[in-house]
Structure 1
Amino acid sequence: MVTTSSETHGFGGSGDFQPAELSENAKVVIERRIARRDDQGDAVETPDQVFLRVARNLAEAETRFGGTEGDRAAAEASFYRLMASLDFLPNSPTLVNAGRDLQQLSACFVLPVEDSIDGIFETVKNTAIIHKSGGGTGFSFSRLRPSNDRVRSTMGVASGPVSFMRVFDSATEAIKQGGTRRGANMGILRVDHPDIDEFIKMKADMTTLQNFNISVAVTEAFMKAVEAGTDFDIINPQTGSIVGQRDARQVWETMFANAWKNGDPGVVFIDRINAGRANPVPKRGPVESTNPCGEQPLYPYDSCNLGSINLGHFTKGPAGNKTVDYERLGTVVRRTVHLLDNVIEMNNYPIPEIAETSHAIRRIGLGVMGWSDLLIDLRIPYNSEEALAVAREVMSHIQRESDAASQQLALVRGNFPDWPESIYGPGGQEGPRPMRNSTRTTIAPTGTLSIIANCSGGIEPVFSLAFIRSHYLDKDDPTKRTELAEVNEQFESAARAEGCYSEELIRFLAEGGHLAERPEVPQWIKDTFVTAHDIAPEWHVRMQAAFQEFTDNAVSKTINFPNTATVDDVRTAYELAYRTGCNGITIYRDGSRELQVLKHAEKSDGEKAIEAAQAIVTAGLGPVRRKLPDERQAITHKFRVGEQEGYITVGLFEDGTPGEVFINVSKQGSTVSGLMDTLAMMTSYSLQYGIPLSVLAAKLKNTRFEPSGPTSNRQIPISTSIVDYVFRWLELKFDGANASIQPTLIPAEDLVDSTNASVNPMKHSDAVASGVGCPECGAVLYYAEGCLICHNCFYNKCG
């Protein structure tokens, strides 16, 4: 690692500082997602060098405000220590881009969608620019005239918001974000828009708008109509006139019934947002949309730059009697506000309008991660009134300290430019009050950050205390798997201290057992180490509300439900979120996605067939090959993946099932052609020796290499490689019962880093299998904090 002497980092008397030791997962994610790379794609920075690069770059802002070289060096030292200690991390784009050519440091943006073809496609262009730079985007489609509305300029009819959302989704699919993340979007439509029914139901098929989260912007008028059981007005946004009325309770029920099916749509209480601190400069508003995970309401052309404090680092005292170290927490909060204000100054915004808004209001979003770790240290159950009380204490402290830090910065650097017309200005509801940043706090997803910090994500509970991972560790036999238990570090320490730790207990928990079933485990451990699936949805909502009470912007959190939850259970959560002051709600019912992998699934027909074949070999009879007739039927299919065209020819057995495959691409003798010939030969022999097509497809779909991209087949619109396309087509054509357009989920035991690094997919994570495959590696994506996260390759769909 890079030296951390006081001479190098300008620490003065703090030259004894040592960076925190990084977990193996942290090293992998930094190498794959954060560090600078050479032309061969290899990381050329250590994690420590990443933190130093970011600190140096952000500290340069000091000189723009009249600071001396000493001020710059002190800021660099402060920022470096915040990150290298893992007390705090800024959002991923800042870690990736600060001090590099791109210099785009914001995680998310909101763009306006105007009701004209020119306006719509100008926004599509800007979306592509933002996604290419590494950001996510939010949109309100509420200004668009409804479908079938008359367009005077052409005398035609409008196609409506949902139709144009598909255009945005296709553009997103075509853009890869800086080689590290794919674009994420939020699409919002007001509940009083004429096309609201189509919007609510449009993701029910689980194939439409894969690059969008969607939420309904619910108004106070609508919620009052729900409570009263009356109708509400439907308004044409083009004319502003009332064009009909709808039964509020019927529309409300449609929302949470669809969310019960697969998690979409969420709800945003838009009038509440506009009446609060998230709308600090009303002349810029109203707020119409949020970023992709919902925690950051933003104006049109607004941006967010976020960062999270690792709360697990802020306890003090002996085990069993720890308290929150509020003094040190306050010190860190003040330093992080300083850092995030510098991010605004050093940011290279992707379009001029965003730069103008961002500098005018200087919005920042300081949040937290490691909340569950802190509660465990304090021995407080997550699902308890005491935990809610501590949440309010901790977040109110962070809010007060961040307000004070921003006020202090304002005295030195000046108020944000729009301050006179803000809620903090002379005529504002909270003014006059000096303020450098129009908002200070946000609870954001920490998918990547919590892996680097080795802590629990955001304000989520622990997902699992233990699970079994398979690793390839035998140097003499690289294909041999070794099973090792992965254990929550805090649980292991507590169990060993209490004398109840055993390998048998860990395996029991890894296989889905519950602590409550183990008599040898002390009650305080059972109460404290409660996991996500043990917590009733009510406690998830109440925890979100406790943090929202002292957060300027909003809180990203997924309200998890068991598979057995009813539609009425979801209704209760939605209404509780409204009553307790949340700015919105996102739910996910376990197993509600068709493709979700079950933990204890029965053996498939393919697995049974393989076992039968193995039994024949074991009995000494040898493998049996089924030969095709000399004259056979065949099917030829033309395809295109990216810019590569080719042909698949399948020879059939007498019963119409596939028995041989030929793949013809590119020029004869080329590498791609040779690889496809080899693949076709191995596939043909496998089919003839009885390996089911479903088994081959499950293993070979989602392989990722160039060429990849859009295809010529509407049933398989995007493919990650030619191999991926071939086996998706074969499955669709010949194995309809098991066919799937969505990426196949790879079992956890297959998710092993090619470098043999141990990657822990669930540690400290409130992650629920989504049923959606990762577009990078094909592994199952998990829901956490309103975000989709891959724990194999560290892709995330957070924005």
Structure 2
Amino acid sequence: MSVQTQPKVLPTTYSQDDAFEASVKYFNGDDLAARVWINKYALKDSEGNLYELTPNDMHRRIAKEIARIESRYPNPLSEETIFDLIKDFKYIVPQGSPMAGIGNPYQIASLSNCFVIGNEGNSDSYGGIMKIDQEQVQLMKRRGGVGHDLSHIRPKGSPVKNSALTSTGIVPFMERYSNSTREVAQDGRRGALMLSVSINHPDSEDFIDAKLEQGKVTGANVSVRIDDEFMKAVKANSTYTQKYPIFSSNPKFSKTIEANKLWKKIVHNAWKSAEPGILFWDTIIKESVPDCYADLGYKTVSTNPCGEIPLCPYDSCRLLAMNLFSYVENPFTDKATFNFDLFKKHIHVAQRIMDDIIDLELEKIDAIIAKIDADPELDEVKATERNLWLNIKTKANEGRRTGIGITAEGDMLAALGIKYGSKKGNAFSVEVHKTLGIEAYRASVYTAKDRGAFAIFDAEREKNNPFIQRLKEADDKLYYEMLEHGRRNIALLTIAPTGTTSLMTQTSSGIEPVFMPVYKRRRKVNPNDKNVRVDFVDEVGDSWEEYVVFHHRFKQWMEVNGIATDKNYTQEELDKIVKKSPYYKATSNDVDWMSKVSMQGAVQKWVDHSISVTINLPNDATEELVGKLYLEAWEAGCKGVTVYRDGSRSGVLISNEEKKEDEQQETLTAFPTKRPQVLEADVVRFQNNKEKWIAFIGLIDGKPYEVFTGLADDEDGILIPRWANNGLIIKNRNEDGTSRYDFQYQNKRGYKTTIEGLSHKFNPEYWNYAKLISSTLRHGMPIDKIVDLINSLQLDSESINTWKNGVVRALKRYVEDGTQAKGQTCTNCSSGNLIYQEGCLTCKDCGSSKCG
């Protein structure tokens, strides 16, 4: 007798169009929020199949998993309780990696947003340096941002016992780590890296200058760890002694410098290019609760890429944000109040959820280690990666660090009728963050009652820590409960840049003020359609209609005050409306800079990690002002500070402004005059409309030298495996003596596969234009100028225009970040203030980004 087996029920899948339509409806017509959610956070497999239709499917997935962990402990939260708090991004918002990874069976990735790595004993051997390089790449492929410090590397010119005889110093290794970052893809985005160095290191000046040279260290953020002694020397206009090893009482090398000379260089470079950032290292270490356990492996050495989480080697952190706007009752009315009772209640739940996410992370790490063990490589090949994750697992399990923070600070204040940056605004923000800090610690103590304290908790070690002392002064009952029961988590709080999260909460980002309350956007239209208004015709003849876009909460203020939101206002009318609103003179470009610095310092007192915040300055801001802001930040107790002067990252940065003309000419003609027979090549895949296209980019020193592109999937096109992302382009000759270009890649068994004749696989018309574009590349024309050239081509054939768009998309990824896009306007707000960021055109006025 045969046994009937039930057919396996396959999960429901959705098309991109279905998910987009449903998500736009979910976000009340906000297509940008819908697209961000689909691209970054919706559950999908490696084939691109979507398993979630709207964000509430994601919230249900997350709630189920957190409830599963809760069931292990006393007094568990139900799935419905969790779902009700996270749905619609209203109250509690897991960020980034937790949102994408919790309950995701299709991707073996970490739930941690950020990591710091380092070497035991600060080894600066080549083996140690290469180990860090490999660890960085292994973390980035699992979706994490990484930071590490370079202060252990011996300075330039130091004796070494190898063929070089002397050390090359820090800068070449900055380049190595930066290049590794650029090589790692993370679901359509690049990895994120923070490199830091102590100001006490003799090579710190070279570190500070490294990014000013064109094309250098483009894959990393850089920050200088500045100690109090250096800052005092700056104020006193005195000297400062640099050492290697840093701060050694018996250094191998030391030199005395004028502190103000180096300080002015830091200020100048930050004014010019927004980097380096500054980390006030003595403040960070003194305030750090985990550093009470420094001898047990918790000595802070660097930060994550955005600077809000200082970490010890192999520790990591997961992030969650509280949506502050949702705690304002009767927003934008004279009855508006902040519901502190509800806020406190939700903080306790949020901290429990954060602790649950650590258990989920430990499961993810076990899966990563199992994947490593199952891989066919030799054990010695896998050893570094395996040990890395074992170290991370130890830290996550032992310290159970969390990163609870906020978003919508700017909208919260506006909804209460309080001006961001005012004394009243700063005082209220401090009260909110003090409440968050105290209640998160209380929640961690209560959780320790049920689940146990973190493994190495020792109240005696922490008793003199300034942050713990402030908690004791504010709430001695909490302090004595912590002495009795311990605390579940070694450190708890941060303020991260919420970026894409704020697009989905439809609020201002993080602790920052609102960027712009209103701007104009353009919609492409058919000028022959009836009842269509044409406001603008671009350089290629496309017609556009302009319409007003309101920041979501500004629109809510308008509705509350009976102001029509569906009218096409003139700019003068918009200015009058904004002037009446609580957002007037309270945007990022309006806020008083000194006030913002003092606010950051006051809020920092209640954040045990750090704060990611940028001080936006107008283009005409002076270097003197930047220096004053940095000094004020140090004196106010900030742990770090970054300034951005409008336009400071536009164009190409050259290390020596007085470069001679012949040197500049040499830069433009750096490529060889004769095409090498073999070129390294990248493979770029993309879609033009609904067609699959492929491009092969020949490279010299990582820079585009030639391009071939066309259809990837028709009878005359090219099909290669999706995992083949690079290879070689080889110039060969046909039997008749004509030249051809072949593409060669290595298959998974290690055998080489060759596709002959790229030049003949595509439409001959494409090939003719490809020769033109390749010629401009070979003569050193800047990529952004080539992109402009291609965009300006007036082509009759629809297929050639499609080809043109494909070449532009393929080349844009090689445009240097920060390069100004001249002659183009933002389709969101019509601004001409566009720069390239990771191959995408980003508007510096409204923040919108468009790739392709």
Query: TM-score higher than 0.5 here?
Result: yes
**1:359 positional shift:** 1.5
Aligned match of 2:718:
none
Aligned match of 1:109:
115
> 2:427 matched to 1:376?
no
Letter in 1 for 2:581: I
SS, match of residue 141 in structure 2: helix
Distance 1:526 1:394, change over 3 A: closer
Q: Output aligned runs, 1:286-297, within 5 Å.
A: 286-297=299-310
Distance 1:399 1:502, change over 3 A: closer
Give me the whole-angstrom Cα distance separating, in 2, the residues matched to 1:193 and 1:475: 63
SS, match of residue 299 in structure 2: coil
Aligned match of 1:55:
63
Aligned match of 1:138:
147
Letter in 2 for 1:50: M
Give me the whole-angstrom Cα distance separating, in 2, the residues matched to 1:547 and 1:206: 37
Letter in 2 for 1:82: I
Query: What RMSD, in angstroms, separates the aligned Cα atoms of the two structures?
Result: 4.1
Give me the whole-angstrom Cα distance separating, in 2, the residues matched to 1:506 and 1:282: 59
Give me the whole-angstrom Cα distance separating, in 1, the residues matched to 2:771 and 2:759: 18
Give deviations 1:61-82, integer Å, cap 9, x for gaps: 2244467xxx36x156415532
> 2:650 matched to 1:642?
no
Give deviations 1:517-550, integer Å, cap 9, x for gaps: x5x5586527646321122322332232232121
% identity of equivalent residues: 26
Unaligned runs of 5+ in 2: 1-10, 13-24, 369-388, 473-481, 530-540, 653-672, 684-695, 699-704, 709-738, 744-753, 775-781, 793-804
**1:99 positional shift:** 1.2
SS, match of residue 850 in structure 2: coil
Give me the whole-angstrom Cα distance separating, in 2, the residues matched to 1:723 and 1:317: 49
Distance 1:164 1:103, change over 3 A: closer
Distance 1:578 1:770, change over 3 A: farther
Q: Output aligned runs, 1:422-433, within 5 Å.
A: 423-424=461-462, 432=483
**1:88 positional shift:** 1.9
Aligned match of 1:326:
340
Give deviations 1:312-342, integer Å, cap 9, x for gaps: 1111136133111111111111111011101
Aligned match of 2:222:
214
Aligned match of 1:707:
none
The answer (yes or no) to whether the contact 1:701–1:725 under 8 Å persists in 2 is: no
Letter in 1 for 2:433: M
Give deviations 1:611-664, integer Å, cap 9, x for gaps: xxxxxxxxxxxxxxxxxxxxxxx99787542275769699xxxxxxxxxxx996
Give me the whole-angstrom Cα distance separating, in 2, the residues matched to 1:761 and 1:308: 28
Q: Output aligned runs, 1:28-47, within 5 Å.
A: 28-38=35-45, 40-46=47-53, 47=55
Aligned match of 1:26:
33
Distance 1:744 1:221, change over 3 A: closer
Give me the whole-angstrom Cα distance separating, in 2, the residues matched to 1:117 and 1:793: 38
**1:175 positional shift:** 1.1
Greater shift after overlay, 283-292 or 671-680? 671-680
SS, match of residue 545 in structure 1: helix
Distance 1:663 1:451, change over 3 A: farther
Aligned match of 1:315:
328
SS, match of residue 244 in structure 1: strand
Given candidates 670, 676, 679, the residue that maps to 2:766 is 679
Give me the whole-angstrom Cα distance separating, in 2, the residues matched to 1:693 and 1:250: 36
Give me the whole-angstrom Cα distance separating, in 2, the residues matched to 1:32 and 1:422: 48
**1:205 positional shift:** 2.5
Aligned match of 1:419:
457
**1:432 positional shift:** 2.8
Q: Output aligned runs, 1:330-349, within 5 Å.
A: 330-347=344-361, 348-349=364-365
Given candidates 507, 517, 524, the residue that maps to 1:455 is 507
Aligned match of 1:82:
86
The answer (yes or no) to whether the contact 1:768–1:782 under 8 Å persists in 2 is: no
The answer (yes or no) to whether the contact 2:133–2:180 under 8 Å persists in 1 is: yes
Give deviations 1:738-773, integer Å, cap 9, x for gaps: xx7558666898777xxxxxxx689xxxx99784x2
Distance 1:358 1:502, change over 3 A: closer
Distance 1:127 1:476, change over 3 A: farther
Give me the whole-angstrom Cα distance separating, in 1, the residues matched to 2:26 and 2:784: 48
SS, match of residue 240 in structure 2: strand
SS, match of residue 601 in structure 2: helix
Query: TM-score scaled by structure 2?
Result: 0.71
The answer (yes or no) to whether the contact 1:491–1:529 under 8 Å persists in 2 is: no
Greater shift after overlay, 255-264 or 227-236? 227-236
Greater shift after overlay, 382-391 or 147-156? 147-156
Letter in 1 for 2:681: V
Give me the whole-angstrom Cα distance separating, in 2, the residues matched to 1:111 and 1:524: 50
Distance 1:356 1:483, change over 3 A: same
Q: Output aligned runs, 1:265-280, within 5 Å.
A: 265-278=276-289, 279-280=291-292
Aligned match of 1:589:
645
SS, match of residue 608 in structure 2: coil
Given candidates 199, 206, 218, the residue that maps to 1:198 is 206
Distance 1:403 1:676, change over 3 A: farther
> 2:237 matched to 1:229?
yes
Given candidates 754, 768, 778, the residue that maps to 2:840 is 778
Give deviations 1:462-481, integer Å, cap 9, x for gaps: 11122222224659889653
The answer (yes or no) to whether the contact 1:301–1:353 under 8 Å persists in 2 is: yes
**1:85 positional shift:** 4.5
Aligned match of 1:485:
548
Give me the whole-angstrom Cα distance separating, in 1, the residues matched to 2:832 and 2:434: 29
Give me the whole-angstrom Cα distance separating, in 1, the residues matched to 2:91 and 2:555: 23
Distance 1:508 1:83, change over 3 A: same
Give me the whole-angstrom Cα distance separating, in 1, the residues matched to 2:615 and 2:117: 27
The answer (yes or no) to whether the contact 2:741–2:758 under 8 Å persists in 1 is: no
**1:180 positional shift:** 4.2
> 2:282 matched to 1:281?
no
The answer (yes or no) to whether the contact 2:114–2:304 under 8 Å persists in 1 is: yes
Give me the whole-angstrom Cα distance separating, in 1, the residues matched to 2:845 and 2:114: 19
Give me the whole-angstrom Cα distance separating, in 1, the residues matched to 2:317 and 2:773: 52
**1:43 positional shift:** 2.4
Give me the whole-angstrom Cα distance separating, in 1, the residues matched to 2:503 and 2:395: 32
Letter in 2 for 1:157: T
Aligned match of 2:15:
none
Distance 1:294 1:507, change over 3 A: farther
Letter in 2 for 1:453: T
Given candidates 275, 289, 292, the residue that maps to 1:264 is 275
**1:221 positional shift:** 1.4
Given candidates 695, 698, 709, the residue that maps to 2:788 is 698
Query: TM-score scaled by structure 1?
Result: 0.75
Aligned match of 2:490:
438
Q: Output aligned runs, 1:537-556, within 5 Å.
A: 537-556=593-612
Unaligned runs of 5+ in 1: 4-17, 597-633, 651-661, 703-719, 730-739, 753-759, 795-799
Letter in 1 for 2:236: A
Give deviations 1:262-290, integer Å, cap 9, x for gaps: 11101101111111135353323431201
Aligned match of 2:96:
92
Given candidates 388, 395, 399, the residue that maps to 1:357 is 395
The answer (yes or no) to whether the contact 1:465–1:487 under 8 Å persists in 2 is: yes
**1:383 positional shift:** 2.3
Of structures 1 and 2, the one with the larger relative CO (CA 8 A, separation 6+) is: 1
The answer (yes or no) to whether the contact 1:379–1:528 under 8 Å persists in 2 is: no
Give me the whole-angstrom Cα distance separating, in 2, the residues matched to 1:30 and 1:496: 27
Greater shift after overlay, 583-592 or 55-64? 55-64
Given candidates 163, 168, 178, the residue that maps to 1:169 is 178
Letter in 1 for 2:118: P
Aligned match of 2:430:
392
Between Structure 1 and Structure 2, how many residues are aligned?
A: 671
Distance 1:343 1:747, change over 3 A: farther
Given candidates 613, 631, 647, the residue that maps to 1:575 is 631
Aligned match of 2:377:
none
Give me the whole-angstrom Cα distance separating, in 2, the residues matched to 1:277 and 1:668: 57
Distance 1:672 1:354, change over 3 A: farther
The answer (yes or no) to whether the contact 2:740–2:757 under 8 Å persists in 1 is: no
SS, match of residue 342 in structure 2: helix
**1:491 positional shift:** 3.0
